[in-house]
Structure 1
Amino acid sequence: MTKDVITLTPRMPDPWSVLAGLLAGGPDKLVNTAGEDAVIQLCDEQGRPLLSVEAPLLVQVRGEAERLLGANPPRVPFWWTEARATTGVPDAERLAGAFAARLASLSGGSAWPPQAARSTAVVETTGLTAAPAPAAAQPAVDVLTDKVAVVIMDRPVVAMTAWLSDAFRAAAASSRGLQIVTPAGTTLSPAVLANLPGWPSRWVVQDDRDGYYDGHTGAVLRWQEGMFATVVPADATADDPRTPVAASYQEVRASADRQLAITFRTVHPADDRLVLGGALETVWRELTGEPPAGWGTAEPANLPWSLGRLTDLAHSRAPEPTWFVVVGSPERPGLATLKVTRTKAGVEEDVTLAFGYGADEEPPLDALPGVAQTLVTRHRLQSMLLQLRRARRDLAVPPRFEGPGVPLAFVLGAEEVRALPDDRARRTPLSQQPVALGPKTRPAYYYPLPGDPSDLSGWADFERLVRHLKGA
């Protein structure tokens, strides 16, 4: 299993420090660049990469090293430098550790994991070569077949790093799935799970009992025909596939932690004066009493929260869509993904947001109608779904079964209500009447749902509501 090695330093590693780190492989190794010169690679005699080092990232957001690594970082701001050893190469991991140990020593920082960076000595690399894999030009990809790109990661939390984002894009561009392989103790960032496409992409978990299984569904997997695929029993039929489920996935752990999940979309007229992210900030302030802590286009989120800078970046990339990750403070775990897209309707913001609460904390459910009212009147809300689920306070996704959320409410924006015929939006088959939001002449509607975490019948009510609104 490959180990990434990460250096956390209070000052930016200078070129001489990076060079000294690269010389951990000896003076005879070749140096190359990739990713528009954002990645430095230490290569064998044939030019194949043994070690890939990403450009240092300045992290100005408190809590990101703790969230993603469980590490104690230098005081914010600090520099985050990732090094990744090539999979399947003997001693490549020691080479990555020696690089990180040298960089940390010269730049006054620390390395993660600590045991990987114990020595600054030169690693004997005579005869050390990398396999001529077709994925060599993509540092994050370890195995490439005609069906999938496989990324092997051994870290506490698999995050949507810049490397992993590149792997997602490369796999999609080549019409391949992306399969992420991790050990059993690893969790996923919600940002990764939200971006993981459908089949054949999946999260593959190594398991002592069942070999491999899907961390999201629990299905037992085997490597077959160039990818990890579900095990199909000999007596399986189309109507009864009988897919085996890993025992580890079924080990449900009772928890009093809860998550408040919010998904919404806003649509704005395209205007050079448009400021993006305001709806997300409004929700964050209303529910936590503070704005988001930071944002970025990958994890770790490295920039302090700023509507202006976020808007400028999205505007510079238009008409191409821009994806952001937004995080909260360590005291109130929160994580959102925001996708800004230019469409015929205008500029759309798609937000998926979750806050975590411990056993002794109450989610602010009473504030939700007020939040919806503000989004309707100030941010052109199109639709919103509110859910409550029993899941980890830290928001990390474990490789075992977690119960589904239950719907608390659904909100339909004023323009969408106006587009429905007759009085359909107001007269629904639900027992509870909707609450009108915004101006009486152009109302939006807030549809309360049962929201009991122990009762999934709320989904049946939600389905009835959606079918009614669609006229089915």
Structure 2
Amino acid sequence: MTKDVIALTSKMPDAWALLAGLYAGGPEASVTAGSDGAVLRLCAPDGRPLVSVEAPLLVQVPGEAERLLGRDVPVPFWWTEVRASGAVPEAERLAESACGRLALLLGGSVWPGPAANTEVVDIRAAVAPDDGQPVVDVLTDSTSVVLADRPVLALTTWLSEVLRGTSESDRALQIVTPPHVRLSAAARATLLQIPNRWVVQDPAQGYYDGLSGAVLRWRNGTFAPMTGADGTGTVAEAFGRTSPSGDRQLVVAFRTVLPPHEDTVLGEGLEAAWRALTGSAPAGWGTAEPVNLPWSPRRLTGLARDRAPEPTHLIVTGHPGRPALAWIRVTRTTSGVEQDVTLTLGYGEGEEPPLEAIEPLAETLVVEHGLTTMLASVRRASRDLTTAPVLQAPPVPVAFTLGARDVRGIGLTHARRPPVEVRPVALGPASGPALHYPLGDGSDTGALGELHRLAAHLRAGVPGAGADA
């Protein structure tokens, strides 16, 4: 198993500090660089990579170390990830020693454990065949398999790079974890995308899919669902071991389209949603977890503009007092600049999601931020926004909003007469309104059927679509 060790230091690990850490391998070791210098690798005398050290990340957003590692670390601090190859027993001690040396030189701590050793590790006997990539534990023609064991599996820079590499090589990414590991909201969204998979190793039942519960077996170089003689799959017993909880999540997913002008600023619609639902702006943003940059729509816009016409994926986080996490996909289309946003907020026992703020928020997004659609839902899930490998109740819709452009395309008369009990509310200018459809308070699963009937009715009004569209 690939072993992750993280140094959390108050000072920046410069080149000399990183080399001092890597010399934990003794004089027989050699150092090479990869990923255009963003990754350093410590290699055995035979050239085999043993440990990789990623470029240090300056974290300026409060609460990120606690959210991902359970550590309360004051900001700003430097986050340096070191990964050891699981094929060589000495590599894990080497990673711990490298991080321990960084913490000793620069002031700070090491995860996991209160401290790490700083000993020199003898690697002269470390010989094992390998594909040259210590971060990927198994590589087949169809699949990249990574073994991970950390409190929260997050969408880190490393995971993003592995995901990009697997996608470019037409492989699936499968991450294997023990059952105590949870997914961050961003990592969950990534592993929900086919053909990726979260594989949980259960001591009693073997392997199962952490998001669907399907029992898995290793066949032909990949983890695949095990089926019976009739072709049906089996759900792992461990997947059904849920415990009652009063925790809930409010999920607000919306799309906006802005004109591709030079003065267009992205992220302002998300900030409006954040303020409406939490009372404050987001705390930080970044391209991966931990989220490291203080919130700034203009800097966010600059990054997206530099990456255009390629899409940009971003993660936004809130302040520690109110769990909140969002991910944004920015895309340049013929319509303009599209922002697909999913904002998730956590609430514990006795805390009420601010459902009364949904309709005013919808109007703000319609009038000021080019809203095309918005769906607000409530689901029974953890306040800390992580996902355990157990059965999750589906989200129950609270409201759906259709922007003015799509209302015009469907026809205002048709859109105003859906086959649901609650009538829509007009938002924005009377000459070209958007429509907001209240669907309930998130407690009645019958709202799922209402949403399906509403969607079918609206699709039937699209020019060229049949009644069954």
The two structures share one fold, judged by TM-score above 0.5 = yes
Aligned-pair CA distance for 1:27 = 1.1
Render the CA deviation track for 1:376-428: whole Å, top value 9, x for unaligned. Answer: 00001000000001110000011111211100010000111011136111111
Counting only pairs closer than 5 Å after superposition, residues 21-420 of structure 1 correspond to structure 2 as: 21-73=21-73, 75-114=74-113, 117-133=115-131, 136-137=132-133, 139-196=134-191, 198-233=193-228, 235-237=229-231, 241=232, 243-420=233-410
Find the aligned partners of 1:384 and 1:452 in 2 and give their Cα distance: 15
Aligned-pair CA distance for 1:197 = 5.2
Cα RMSD (Å) of the superposition?
1.2
Render the CA deviation track for 1:345-398: whole Å, top value 9, x for unaligned. Answer: 110000011000111211111111000000000001000000001110000011
* TM-score, normalised relative to structure 1: 0.96
* TM-score, normalised relative to structure 2: 0.96
Find the aligned partners of 1:3 and 1:307 in 2 and give their Cα distance: 36
Find the aligned partners of 1:427 and 1:214 in 2 and give their Cα distance: 42
Aligned-pair CA distance for 1:451 = 3.5
Q: Which amino acid aligns with 2:273?
A: V
Q: Does 1:464 align with 2:453?
A: yes
Find the aligned partners of 1:291 and 1:140 in 2 and give their Cα distance: 36
Between stretches 274-283 and 223-232, larger displacement belongs to 223-232
Aligned-pair CA distance for 1:87 = 2.1
SS in structure 2 of the partner of residue 45 of structure 1: coil
SS in structure 2 of the partner of residue 424 of structure 1: helix
Aligned-pair CA distance for 1:14 = 2.5
Find the aligned partners of 2:162 and 2:17 in 1 and give their Cα distance: 28
Q: Which amino acid aligns with 1:17?
A: A
**What number of residue pairs does the alignment pair up?**
461
Q: Which amino acid aligns with 1:279?
A: G
Find the aligned partners of 2:415 and 2:128 in 1 and give their Cα distance: 62
SS in structure 2 of the partner of residue 184 of structure 1: coil
Aligned-pair CA distance for 1:141 = 2.0
| Runs (5+) with no aligned partner, structure 1 | none
Match of 2:438 in 1: 448
Q: Which amino acid aligns with 1:28?
A: E
2:110 and 2:116 in contact (8 A); partners too: no
Cα pair distance change 1:315/1:200, threshold 3 Å = closer
Find the aligned partners of 2:92 and 2:244 in 1 and give their Cα distance: 37
Aligned-pair CA distance for 1:211 = 0.9
Q: Which amino acid aligns with 1:460?
A: G
Match of 1:431 in 2: 421
